[in-house]
Amino acid sequence: DVKVTQSSRYLVKRTGEKVFLECVQDMDHENMFWYRQDPGLGLRLIYFSYDVKMKEKGDIPEGYSVSREKKERFSLILESASTNQTSMYLCASSRVGQGYGYTFGSGTRLTVV
Amino acid sequence: AQSVTQLDSQVPVFEEAPVELRCNYSSSVSVYLFWYVQYPNQGLQLLLKYLSGSTLVKGINGFEAEFNKSQTSFHLRKPSVHISDTAEYFCAVALSGGSNYKLTFGKGTLLTVNP
């Protein structure tokens, strides 16, 4: 079965910490995405990548960066975590072509205290 | 740019009743349409998608959706729901053709099925 794996289901971090959220897919997908999900706001795109070492900003990139050194791995980095970054973070991947849709990971619930 | 509106944030229904979750989109070009389901504490799972052809699309778990180009809608339906259908449902749109492969999601509809 195809898979997108997010390394942590739950994380608690302190304000100001540098936080790494890891995502790995085993489907040889070209595209990878990071979303955050908040009640009443739905899914908002943070960053996406369409190739190794390539990235583009989504709708809410402020306070985040990403890294894609290998095709299967896409990391989201919170440079200095703040309490307003407490959220559910979802990673997804897709093949090239808009008709394929996304495969999602199970999510990481991050709490910044 | 495309956008998606899910008209109901919450839909409560009784078990075995029919349900319709509404989704409207706006786009100046042709689109692909998707419905995803999210069970509690899980990621999103694809229910069904419309790419082209027949406007009635059948998906998993007995769900179906109808694409209506004139109404710019893609409503999700199920004739008889179960307790296990309790989840959040997301409608999403992607532009067909070109290099834009991002999905734009609606804000979700929480379906609660009561006994």
Residue type at B9 in one-letter notation: S
Locate the domains of chain B by residue range: 3-114
Give the pLDDT score at B24: 96
Q: Which two tokens stand for residue B32?
A: 């692909």
Q: Are B96 and B32 in contact (CB under 8 A)?
A: yes
Q: Report CB contact under 8 Å: A45, B102.
A: yes
Superfamily designation of domain B3-114: Immunoglobulins (2.60.40.10)
Q: Is pLDDT of A100 > 90?
A: no
CATH number of the domain within which A10 lies: 2.60.40.10
Q: Is pLDDT of B108 > 60?
A: yes
| pLDDT per position as a tens digit, B61-99 | 999 999 999 999 999 999 999 999 999 999 999 877 655
Q: Report CB contact under 8 Å: A45, B108.
A: no
Counting the structural domains of chain A, the total is 1
Q: Is pLDDT of A59 > 70?
A: yes
Q: Are A110 and A20 in contact (CB under 8 A)?
A: no
Does B41 contact A at CB distance below 8 Å? yes
Cα A91 to Cα A32, A37, A49, B105, B107, distances in angstroms = 7, 11, 11, 14, 17
Q: Which domain holds residue A62?
A: 4-112
How many contiguous H segments (helices) and E segments (strands) does chain A have? 0, 11
Q: How far off is chain B from A19, nearest CA to CA, in Å? A: 21
Give the pLDDT score at B27: 83
Give the pLDDT score at A96: 79
Strand-pair partners of A55 = none
Give the pLDDT score at A2: 64
Give the pLDDT score at B41: 82
Q: Is pLDDT of A76 > 80?
A: yes
Q: How far off is chain A from B99, nearest CA to CA, in Å? A: 8
Give the pLDDT score at B13: 97
Confidence of residue B2 (pLDDT cuts 50, 70, 90): confident
pLDDT, mean of residues B15-23: 97
In B, minimum Cα distance to A48 occurs at B102
